[in-house]
Amino acid sequence: MPVIGLDHILIAIPVGAEESARRFYRDLLGFIELEKPAALGGRGGLWLRAGDFVLHLGTEQNFVAPKRAHPGLLVDDHNALMKTLSEAGVELVFDVPLPGYDRVHIRDPFGNRLELLQRV
């Protein structure tokens, strides 16, 4: 059978880093935290939603952030979010322009790379 869509993406975070993840993903980026199924509750991490996009943050022993791998997250107000992130001390890394988008790369508190894009 062919793949028909995307259910979620999992990004690893260090064990015990859920509160830092909440402050970054929920409070700065605007994700909504979802309740994890009871069977998975003891594993740590978080499940988050933004629109139709679901992001799982899973804890990993001996965590090391990937250097280049990243999700591309669509945003609705690129300029306002850049201001919010900048004021929070998040480094904004502007890359080669991508036709049809405003975009920037950031890193979460654990070093995971995220690309934030707005269609223009």
Q: Is the pLDDT reported for residue 76 higher than 90?
A: yes
- Can you tell me the mean pLDDT for 7-36? 97
CATH of region 9-119: 3.10.180.10
Pairing status of strand 32-34 against strand 46-50: antiparallel
> CA torsion 103→108→111→114, rounded to 10°?
-30
pLDDT in tens, 42-53: 899 999 999 999
The token pair at 40 is 């998975």
Whether the pTM exceeds 0.75: the reply is: yes
The residues spanned by each domain of the chain are 9-119
Long-range contacts made by residues 25-32, C-beta under 8 angstroms, separation at least 24? 25/55, 25/57, 25/108, 28/84, 28/85, 28/88, 28/90, 29/73, 29/81, 31/55
Residue 42: predicted pLDDT? 87
- Can you tell me the mean pLDDT for 29-58? 94
